[in-house]
Amino acid sequence: MGSASKARGPALISRCFRPTHANLDVNVISVLRREWYVEDIAIDHPVVKLIVNKNGENNLPTLPESNSQSNTNAFDLGIRPLLLDRGEVYYNDRKTPLYADLHDLRLKSTYDSTDRGRYCGSLGYHDGHLKYGNYAPMTHGLQAQFDARRSGMQLNDVTLTTLPMIAKLNASIQNYSNPTAHANYSIILDGGELRRVLKDPSLPVGEVLVTGTADYANNPNQALLNSITVNGDVSSKELLLHTTQLDTAIRSIGGHYEVAAGNAEVRNLHASLLGGQITGNATIRDLAGKGIGRATLNLRSLSLASLKSLANTASLKQLSLRGAVNGKAEATWTGGMQNLLARTDATINSTAAPAVAAEREKTIPLNGTIHAVYNGTNQTIALNNTYIQAPQTTLNLNGTVSNHSALKVNLQANNLAELETIADIFRTPKPGEPPPQPLGLSGRLSFNGTVSRSIAAPELQGRLNGTNVQVHSASFKSLQADVDASPSQVAITNGRIEPAPQGQLNFNLQASLKDWSLTPNSPLAARVNANNVAVAPLLKAADVSTPISGTLNANIDVRGSEDNPIGNGRVSLVNANVSGQPIQAVNADLQGTGDVVNSNLLVRRAVPAGQSVRRTGRDHRVYQRCANRAGLEPAS
């Protein structure tokens, strides 16, 4: 007499199991002693279909409750031959979403009386498919041998084959009620196939071999991780990283790993990459609890040329870097990586030059030291005694970088010619743009300041000082200014320049910016005062080719914008000479209303030798902005 089964869930398949043919033979030895065994079970082409709908309901039958206290187990049944052939399994989970199937499922088992009964045989299938979410479909297959007894089970030559992976396993299980297990395994992982299945171009291409042993001893009084022991090695001859931003190879990869007593350890980790070597070790204590981790990483002779290729920025493409990086990194954490505390100490020894061979004479030695600590709790990077140094230029960094940065910046340039060379090396010309003309810099320059606010929108404040500065052969005895710059504004205050041989220029400048750029409508303000300044050095520094000399005095106060200046000023040039023409004095009064700039200009030419009559010329013009705001034109 059979028992009815009832499927659960609306509109689901009522039967999840359907064989083409099934056969069951029972051999009764003694009815009185209740001795019997199953002579033969054969199931041909069984099809199992399991469906889970979006609500998580499935089509598995609900089995009736049983009050039987029978202790009969599979070994008491003594199933002589068991054959399941041409099986198919389909699984469709519309909630996850996950789809899986397997075909040609075959289970073959025989029974004998060894050790009071044992089953031995094989299990396998071919042409399995797995599809999860948006990932690419993955085929798989399984073959295994088994030997099951009352005392335990042996699994031999277990091979799981997928496109990204081939895994092999031999395992034994003892004492089903309080199990212990031991296994030997090897896994070959194909990074290229895994990259295709996961649709993740950042994954490397190449094979990774993982081998090892695993042991398990049941202990209901401790966490599962504390009951597992794993020992093994991982290795790879070569992994290729190829993305739009990265193209490099990692070779000779290896390491040993161990999980025991709830702790994990990685030893002798090593790899060759970027022209150098990386070695390291790591431990995690209390895997099931706090997860206290510690890792060290050593960097030896990493090529700066290779590191430059990883950056893949336009400015670095113009640069030829040679040299190496050496260093050490240490990290500790508790729980997740959000509590990471990492310290890095590294040295840089290199030379920098333009990538164009014709300009390699500009080669500059660059050396540096980095001492940095990253704190994941407050997401800060602390720099201490960090510097980059050329023969005549040193940049020192001390402090913290974060959303509330407080980084001290000290730049000391003992020869501005070297600083100009460095700037030329790193400068990225626009397509079709001619190479910049040299400024002919020399002299000493220093900057002491701080960087504050966030990394995305930093603010730089500090004091600039220069002595004996030359620009385009023009000399300046000194220059000083306070600088305050951010993506939204720039201010240069308390500025003072002393041109050689005489005079002083004082200025205060301020302007609003848009992402570090000045626009024609940007609000600005400027105050400039010149006192007995030799005008020739100023014009030389501005690369003005017209020969002009004389003594300049000026007082200008302007605000508004480039398109709409408001303010006034007075400019006076005496004892001047313009292109060989002597001029006794030029005086100009300027006034801007926002729409119109008015100028009263008085030119007093020098009296030729031998003449006693002084001639005075007066030129009065009113200028107004053109409609297209391209410049100043005389009013009609």
* C-alpha to C-alpha distance for 174 and 148, rounded to whole angstroms: 10
Question: Is 279 found in the same domain as 306?
Answer: no
Average pLDDT in the chain: 84
Question: Is 211 found in the same domain as 113?
Answer: no
Question: Is 449 found in the same domain as 328?
Answer: yes
- Which of the pair, 195 or 55, is modelled with greater confidence? 195
**What mean pLDDT is predicted for residues 356-363?**
64
Question: Is 279 found in the same domain as 237?
Answer: yes
* C-alpha to C-alpha distance for 599 and 590, rounded to whole angstroms: 5
Confidence of residue 356 (pLDDT cuts 50, 70, 90): low
As a residue count, the chain comes to: 636
Structure tokens that stand for 370 in this block: 């980095």
Question: Is 306 found in the same domain as 282?
Answer: no
Question: Is 209 found in the same domain as 101?
Answer: no
User: Does residue 554 belong to any structural domain of this protein?
Assistant: no
**What mean pLDDT is predicted for residues 132-151?**
91
User: Does residue 529 belong to any structural domain of this protein?
Assistant: no
Confidence of residue 569 (pLDDT cuts 50, 70, 90): very high
User: Does residue 337 belong to any structural domain of this protein?
Assistant: yes
- Tell me the C-alpha to C-alpha distance, in Å, between residue 45 and each of 11, 104, 140: 25, 8, 20
Confidence of residue 154 (pLDDT cuts 50, 70, 90): very high
- Which of the pair, 134 or 209, is modelled with greater confidence? 209
Confidence of residue 360 (pLDDT cuts 50, 70, 90): low
Question: Is 124 found in the same domain as 222?
Answer: no
Question: Is 447 found in the same domain as 333?
Answer: yes
Question: Is 113 found in the same domain as 169?
Answer: no
Work out whether strand 61-62 and strand 21-30 pair parallel, antiparallel, or are unpaired: unpaired
User: Does residue 109 belong to any structural domain of this protein?
Assistant: yes
**Cα 435 from chain centroid (whole Å):** 33
* C-alpha to C-alpha distance for 85 and 76, rounded to whole angstroms: 24
Over the stretch 472-516, which tens digit does the pLDDT of each residue have? 888 899 999 999 999 999 999 999 999 888 899 999 999 999 999
Query: What would the DSSP string read from start to end of 551-605?
Result: EEEEEEEEEE-SSSEEEEEEEEEEEEEETTEEEEEEEEEEEEESSEEEEEEEEEE
- pTM value? 0.75
Q: According to the model, what pLDDT value does residue 33 have?
A: 53
Residue 456 reports pLDDT greater than 80 = yes
User: Does residue 614 belong to any structural domain of this protein?
Assistant: no
Confidence of residue 623 (pLDDT cuts 50, 70, 90): very low
Confidence of residue 631 (pLDDT cuts 50, 70, 90): very low
Q: How many domains does the chain have?
A: 3
Residue 12 reports pLDDT greater than 80 = no
- Percentage of the chain beyond pLDDT 70 is 84
Confidence of residue 14 (pLDDT cuts 50, 70, 90): very low
* C-alpha to C-alpha distance for 283 and 260, rounded to whole angstroms: 11
User: Does residue 107 belong to any structural domain of this protein?
Assistant: yes
**What mean pLDDT is predicted for residues 512-532?**
92
Element (H, E) at 195: helix 191-198
Confidence of residue 76 (pLDDT cuts 50, 70, 90): low
Over the stretch 542-552, which tens digit does the pLDDT of each residue have? 888 888 889 99
Question: Is 90 found in the same domain as 15?
Answer: yes
The burial of 352, by beta-carbon neighbours within 10 Å (0-12 exposed, 13-18 middle, 19 or more buried), is given as buried
Residue 116 reports pLDDT greater than 50 = yes
Q: Which domain holds residue 47?
A: 1-62+76-134
**What mean pLDDT is predicted for residues 315-337?**
87
Over the stretch 575-598, which tens digit does the pLDDT of each residue have? 988 888 888 888 999 898 888 888
Question: Is 278 found in the same domain as 159?
Answer: yes
User: Does residue 30 belong to any structural domain of this protein?
Assistant: yes
Residue 21 reports pLDDT greater than 80 = no
Residue 559 reports pLDDT greater than 70 = yes
Residue 518 DSSP code: -
Query: What would the DSSP string read from start to end of 292-360?
Result: EEEEEEEEEEEEHHHHHHHH--HHHHTEEEEEEEEEEEEEEEESSGGG-EEEEEEEEEEEEEESSGGGG
Map tokens 């407080």 to a residue: 406
Question: Is 191 found in the same domain as 46?
Answer: no
Over the stretch 400-444, which tens digit does the pLDDT of each residue have? 999 999 999 999 999 999 988 888 777 766 667 777 778 889 999
User: Does residue 253 belong to any structural domain of this protein?
Assistant: yes
